[in-house]
Amino acid sequence: MKKTAFALLILALSVSSCISTKSTIKNIDETASRPILRGDYYVLTEYSDSAKYGYDSDYPINIGFISQSQEQNNVTYFFNGLEGPDGQKLSFEKTGSCCPFPTKNNRVGAGMLAQYTVTWEGQSKPVILHFNTFEKGKIMCPKGLSIKKNPSRTH
């Protein structure tokens, strides 16, 4: 019994030590609105002027607050409104999670960023974009991608 209690204590301390008490995410904006949803895509109207937006874990694409079950739909709406730098169709896949951070929008008090690998024809190296489903922020087109001119059902 003592060994089990000790093991649980060590596990709890290990998990809690991974989460900073101060968020490093720099682009949270609780007043931001989600883009208009038209059919199966977000109508994006603005390009990010920062090369870090989406690519750096401190500047994720903040699509929250949404439930975990809505993540795939909202990320798909985001990508359906975008294309590659020369109009190429994007392919994307969730490939991981990273970067724990404190949040009041999760009952355990912490969240993780979702990582999506993005590819398109003619690309030399896939890119990884970070999504925050727990916090809000301005949703824009990351550098290196384009806002789709005539979005349609693509995924």
61 burial type by CB count under 10 A (0-12 exposed, 13-18 middle, 19+ buried): buried
Q: Which residue has the higher pLDDT, 101 or 65?
A: 101
Is 11 a member of any domain?
A: no
In this prediction, residue 122 carries a pLDDT of 96
Closest CA to 60 of 28, 92, 31: 28
Q: Is the pLDDT of residue 155 over 60?
A: no
Domain encompassing residue 90: 23-147
Is 49 a member of any domain?
A: yes
Is 27 a member of any domain?
A: yes
Is 154 a member of any domain?
A: no
Is 64 a member of any domain?
A: yes
pLDDT in tens, 87-127: 999 999 999 999 999 999 988 999 999 999 999 999 999 99
Q: Is the pLDDT of residue 25 over 90?
A: yes
Is 4 a member of any domain?
A: no
What's the rounded Cα separation, in Å, for the pair 61 and 55? 9
Q: Is the pLDDT of residue 75 over 90?
A: yes
pTM of the model: 0.83
Is 48 a member of any domain?
A: yes
pLDDT in tens, 40-61: 999 999 999 999 999 999 999 9
Number of folded domains in the chain? 1
Question: Could you count the other beta carbons within 10 Å of the beta carbon of residue 128?
Answer: 14
Is 33 a member of any domain?
A: yes
Residue 11: pLDDT band (50, 70, 90) is very low
Q: What is the DSSP letter of 58?
A: T
- Are 91 and 20 spatial neighbours (Cβ–Cβ below 8 Å)? no
